[in-house]
Amino acid sequence: MVADLDPDERRGNPTGTAGRRVLLLVNPRSRRGDSPLNGVIDVLQQAGMAVLRESVETPEEVSPDIIRRAGEVDCVVVCGGDGSVNAAARGILATGLPLGIIPLGTGNDLARTLGLPLDPVAAAAIVAAGATRLVDVGEVNGHPFFNVASLGISTALAEELTREVKRRWGRLGYALAAVSALLKARPFTARIVSTSDSVTVHTMQVAVGNGRHYGGGMTVSEDAAIDDGELDLYSLEFPSVWSMVLMLPAFVSGAQGRWREVRTVRCASFEIRTRRPRKVSADGEVVTQTPARFRVLPAAVHIFVPPGA
C-alpha cells in the first residue's frame, strides 16, 4: 500500500521531496510531447528525487500503469495536456498518489486553474518544492474529469479538435474547430435534474464544471473553484448559434451567467436526460452518453502547486 502524505503535506506545506520516487509519464503524442525533458528530469533529480520515466502511447495505458507501479513510487508526474491528465485520474484516485503536472498540451486548462507555470522546467520546480493542494474531481457516469464535462456544441468541438489539428495549429486549432462545430450545431431538449429542481430546457449546450478553466482558456463561471465541493452547470438557451456571438467574450471571464439566455446552477450532483442518447465529453474526450449522472468527489486528489497557492 502506498504511504499517505504526512499531516504537513496534507495542508499543502512543502515537506521536502528528497528520496521520493517519481513515476514520470510522458505522452509523446501531446502537442509538445516530443520536447526534450532533460531539464525536467534534472530539476527533479537535483531535488533528490529518483525518476522512473515511461512513455504512454494511448490514454488507456495511463491509469493501469499507475496502478501497476503504485508500490514502487511515491508520486506521479504526468507530462502532457489535459487529456493525458484526465487519463491518469482513475489511477490517481485508486492509489492515492499525489499528482504533478508538466503542461505539454494545447489548452493546459487544469494547469491554468491551479496557477502552474506553462514552462516545463518551471513546472518541474513546483513538484520539487513539494507543496500540494487537495482538489475535487468531477465524475459523469463513472468517468472522472478535472475541468468540465458537457454535451452539445462542446462535444462536437471535441470531435472536430483532432490530435492532428492541435499539433498543427496549436491554440488556433480551438478557433478553427469551434467554427466547424458551430456550423453544425442545433438546439436540443434536455431535462436537468438537481437536488433542488427539475426543469426541461431547449438548449445548445449544457456544461458541468468541476474546475475553473476549460476549452483552451474559457471560464466555467466567475466564482468557480476546483476545491469548493460543488459543480457549476450552465445551459445555453439561445434560439440559434449566431445569437450567441455577442456573448463569446463573456466565456473568457466566466460572465456568461449574467445573460438571461444562460441558465446557471450550482450543486454537488446533477442528472441530464435527453429524448435520444447524446454524446457527453469530459476534459475534451467523448466518454459516455445521456442519460448522464454527474457528481463531485470532494478533496479527492493531491496535486503539486506553487507554495502558498
- How confident is the model over 123-156, as pLDDT tens digits? 999 999 999 999 999 999 999 999 999 998 877 6
Question: Domain check: are 150 and 55 in the same one?
Answer: no
The mean pLDDT of 93-100, rounded to a whole number, is 98
**Do the domain assignments include residue 112?**
yes
Question: Domain check: are 155 and 284 in the same one?
Answer: yes
Question: Domain check: are 39 and 151 in the same one?
Answer: no
Element (H, E) at 167: helix 163-169
CATH code at 105? Answer: 3.40.50.10330
CATH code at 151? Answer: 2.60.200.40
**Do the domain assignments include residue 309?**
no
Question: Domain check: are 68 and 166 in the same one?
Answer: no
Whole-angstrom Cα distance, residue 117 to residue 105? 13
173 pLDDT more than 80: no
CB 99 within 8 A of CB 131: no
Question: Domain check: are 45 and 160 in the same one?
Answer: no
Question: Domain check: are 290 and 164 in the same one?
Answer: yes
Question: Domain check: are 12 and 80 in the same one?
Answer: yes
Number of domains in the chain: 2
Question: Domain check: are 214 and 277 in the same one?
Answer: yes
Q: Which burial class, exposed, middle or buried, applies to 38 when counting CB atoms under 10 A from its CB (0-12, 13-18, 19+)?
A: exposed
CB 212 within 8 A of CB 224: yes
**Do the domain assignments include residue 183?**
yes
Nearest C-alpha neighbor of 83 from the set 53, 66, 64, 108: 108
For 282-293, write each residue's pLDDT tens digit: 998 889 999 999
**Do the domain assignments include residue 2?**
no
Question: Domain check: are 67 and 163 in the same one?
Answer: no
Range 231-243 burial, b when 16+ CB lie within 10 A, else e = bbbbbbbbeebee
93 pLDDT more than 60: yes
On average, the pLDDT of the chain sits at 86
Whole-angstrom Cα distance, residue 26 to residue 32? 10
**Per-residue pLDDT band at 206 (split at 50, 70, 90):** very high
Within 10 A of 295 (CB to CB), how many other CB atoms are there?
19
Give the up-direction half-sphere exposure of residue 118: CA atoms within 13 A in the CB hemisphere: 15
Question: Domain check: are 266 and 284 in the same one?
Answer: yes
86 pLDDT more than 90: yes
**Do the domain assignments include residue 1?**
no
Question: Domain check: are 45 and 116 in the same one?
Answer: yes
> Residue 295 sits in which domain range?
143-299
Three-class SS of residue 66?
Answer: helix
Question: Domain check: are 152 and 294 in the same one?
Answer: yes
Cell 429542481 -> residue: 197
